[in-house]
């Protein structure tokens, strides 16, 4: 059978990066103890090629190679988002707006359920019982402050509701605990936590599968806060216009993408917990006093592709060069927030979480002409947006919303910060929310002055009062807006003659 396209097959995705000259094949031996992660972290920060480590110290029996920065920005400044948009089958010059449009393109369409196939590449090798020793796998230590080796940072956590047909796909971290056990973060209001709570009520351990090196478009849906009850694999089918091909797990009734690189399967204990973390977080901090007791994953089988399976990893940190916790979590939450606001009849054109704000802020771009028709004002409009976004799961990670006009490009932080700095009057233009669920990982919540789990959220109005009812009363003083077309054309035509 011919190899599927890059958005449906991880190995084809890797080959596509190589053909884009956006992959570094590293054959020198590299140590999974910090060295692999340090290279990957620097690759994000320099926006270099994605590192594919072929020679990991301690790898054996085809487990495993490691791919870093699969969701980082591309190494070609002309196409910064090419690596991202390759996940969803868009052309290399597609924009972040195109990416968000694509991920929302299946909204309102019926899901296309996956098909079950007999077998697939992920079934080529199988480990059970005594053959399993997670401590012998070269699981990487990602940050010097981490509390364990995080084998799971880019795989899809697959769990099914105990009584409903809902199968949830998400990304939730997990570290090696011992020979056959991991421990992983299962945190409300995430769907994995809601489903886990149902299993606790049922009195039975929760079956799980983690599919690493899964189809890239499925990784995107797994990182997207789709509504409760939506089975991500069906949404992906609708996105692609064709069903995903899944195979049954060896030790439970869950199904995983047939072409996955590595599948870890078993049950999550509803009684046993262990210390999880610290973990280098998405905001760029690893707090040394992080004391989480999280559920234990009991591993019953590992299956994997031949030809040296590839483990994808994410090394979260400062977004000086954004990593997957910014380019996926931020961008995909932006998509769902845009959907929420548009569904509620608000004149919102786009939403985006600037990487410079560690995706803690989101710019909401408003169609000002449509805004006039609402005959509203900053207080009423901003409160309405805050009530919607801050009381929904898709808004969980956002602590500041910036309401900007359509003269501002939400994907251009210089535009966004210009309007915030110049049009949002301190003390009058910000509307605070102290009774909404907070994102506890934000440092000023986890280690800040106030309550940890609620509040600390704000909507910043970056529109002047008259923009709510009429044309802007100013000329923007930049080359684009400050000069008539004829002058701009003349200047551009003569620019090189001027020797500038
Ligand atoms: C792309 C990515 C995403 C996450 C995470 C990481 C990466 C690379 C890693 C593993 C690198 C880091 C880790 C985090 O530490 C970041 C984090 C984010 C959100 C909540 C807690 C932690 N994480 C993660 C995450 N969700 C979590 O429930 N524990 C997690 O462990 N997420 C976010 C999560 O996938 C999204 O919120 C999805 O919408 C959840 O799916 P649904 O519940 O909506 O079906
Ligand atoms: K999801
Ligand atoms: Mn979900």
Annotated catalytic residue within 234, 265, 276, 281: 281
Separation of alpha carbons 26 and 191, rounded Å: 37
142, 144, 149, 153 alpha-carbon torsion, rounded to 10°: -30
Q: What is the average pLDDT across 355-381?
A: 98
pLDDT, residue 109, reads: 98
Separation of alpha carbons 420 and 460, rounded Å: 8
Cα 374 to ligand 1 centre (Å): 36
pLDDT, residue 377, reads: 98
pLDDT, residue 2, reads: 78
User: Among residues 353, 403, 412, 349, which one has the least CA distance to residue 376?
Assistant: 403
Ramachandran category for residue 28: left, alpha or beta (phi over 0 → left; psi -120 to 50 → alpha) = beta
Residues facing 141 on adjacent strands? 33
pLDDT tens for 382-419 read 999 999 999 999 999 999 999 999 999 999 999 999 99
pLDDT, residue 262, reads: 99
Residues having CB within 6 Å of any atom of ligand 1: 153-154, 168, 170-173, 185, 187, 190-192, 223-225, 279, 281-282, 314, 316, 324-325, 328-329, 441
Check: complex ipTM more than 0.90: yes
Q: What percent of the chain has pLDDT over 70?
A: 100
User: Among residues 493, 195, 18, which one has the least CA distance to residue 6?
Assistant: 18
Q: What is the average pLDDT across 474-490?
A: 98
pLDDT averaged over every residue in the chain? 98
Q: What is the average pLDDT across 420-430?
A: 98
Separation of alpha carbons 400 and 456, rounded Å: 9
Separation of alpha carbons 128 and 496, rounded Å: 68
pLDDT tens for 40-52 read 999 999 999 999 9
Cα 336 to ligand 1 centre (Å): 15
Return the residue whose CA atom lies nearest to atom 27 of ligand 1.
172
Separation of alpha carbons 81 and 65, rounded Å: 25
pLDDT tens for 211-223 read 999 999 999 999 9
Q: What is the average pLDDT across 174-182?
A: 98
For this structure, is 281 an active site residue? yes
pLDDT exceeds 90 at position 126: yes
Q: What is the average pLDDT across 491-498?
A: 98
Cα 157 to ligand 1 centre (Å): 10
Q: What percent of the chain has pLDDT over 90?
A: 99
Separation of alpha carbons 316 and 367, rounded Å: 34
Report the residue among 324, 329, 359 best suited for mutation to probe ligand 1: largest number of ligand atoms under 8 A from its CB. 329
- 481 Cβ contact list (under 8 Å, min separation 6): 475
pLDDT, residue 3, reads: 84
Tokens for 425? 């009057």
pLDDT tens for 261-290 read 999 999 999 999 999 999 999 999 999 999
pLDDT tens for 38-94 read 999 999 999 999 999 999 999 999 999 999 999 999 999 999 999 999 999 999 999
pLDDT exceeds 70 at position 1: no
Atom of ligand 1 nearest to the CA of 171: 35
Separation of alpha carbons 231 and 160, rounded Å: 9
pLDDT, residue 242, reads: 97
Report the residue among 139, 172, 358 best suited for mutation to probe ligand 1: largest number of ligand atoms under 8 A from its CB. 172
């Amino acid at each position: 059978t011919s190899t599927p396209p890059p958005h449906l097959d991880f190995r084809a995705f890797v080959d596509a990066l190589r053909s884009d000259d956006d992959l570094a094949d590293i054959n020198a031996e590299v140590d999974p103890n910090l060295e692999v992660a340090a290279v990957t972290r620097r690759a994000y920060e320099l926006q270099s090629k994605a590192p594919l480590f072929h020679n990991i110290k301690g790898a054996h029996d085809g487990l495993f190679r490691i791919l870093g920065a699969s969701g980082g920005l591309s190494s070609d400044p002309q196409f910064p988002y090419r690596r991202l948009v390759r996940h969803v089958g868009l052309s290399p010059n597609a924009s972040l707006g195109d990416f968000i449009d694509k991920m929302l393109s299946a909204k309102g369409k019926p899901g296309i359920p996956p098909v079950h196939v007999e077998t697939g590449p992920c079934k080529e090798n199988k480990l059970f019982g005594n053959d399993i020793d997670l401590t012998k796998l070269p699981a990487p230590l990602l940050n010097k402050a981490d509390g364990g080796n995080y084998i799971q940072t880019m795989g899809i956590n697959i769990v099914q509701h105990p009584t409903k047909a809902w199968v949830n796909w998400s990304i939730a971290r997990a570290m090696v605990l011992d020979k056959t056990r991991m421990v992983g973060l299962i945190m409300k209001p995430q769907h994995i936590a809601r489903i886990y709570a149902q299993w606790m009520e049922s009195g039975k351990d929760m079956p799980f599968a983690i599919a690493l090196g899964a189809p890239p478009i499925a990784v995107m849906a797994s990182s997207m806060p789709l509504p409760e009850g939506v089975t991500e694999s069906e949404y992906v089918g609708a996105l692609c216009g064709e069903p995903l091909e899944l195979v049954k797990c060896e030790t439970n009734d869950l199904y995983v993408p047939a072409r996955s690189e590595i599948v870890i399967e078993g049950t999550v204990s509803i009684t046993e917990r262990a210390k999880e973390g610290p973990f280098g977080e998405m905001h760029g901090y690893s707090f040394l006093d992080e004391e989480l007791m999280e559920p234990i994953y009991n591993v019953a089988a590992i299956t994997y592709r031949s030809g040296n399976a590839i483990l994808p990893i994410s090394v979260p940190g400062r977004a000086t060069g954004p990593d997957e916790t910014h380019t996926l979590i931020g961008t995909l939450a932006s998509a769902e927030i845009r959907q929420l606001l548009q569904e509620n009849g608000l004149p919102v054109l786009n939403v985006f979480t600037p990487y410079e704000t560690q995706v803690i802020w989101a710019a909401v771009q408003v169609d000002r002409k449509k805004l006039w028709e609402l005959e509203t004002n900053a207080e009423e409009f901003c409160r309405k947006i805050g009530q919607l976004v801050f009381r929904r799961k898709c808004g969980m990670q956002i602590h500041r919303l910036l309401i900007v006009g359509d003269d501002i490009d939400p994907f251009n932080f210089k535009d966004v910060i210009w309007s915030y700095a110049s049009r949002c009057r301190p003390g009058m233009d910000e509307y605070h929310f102290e009774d909404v669920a907070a994102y506890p990982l934000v440092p000023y919540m986890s280690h800040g002055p106030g309550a940890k789990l609620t509040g600390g959220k704000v909507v910043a109005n970056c529109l002047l009062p008259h923009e709510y009812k009429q044309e802007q009363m100013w000329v923007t003083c930049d080359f684009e807006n400050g000069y008539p077309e004829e002058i701009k054309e003349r200047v551009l035509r003569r620019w090189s003659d001027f020797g500038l």
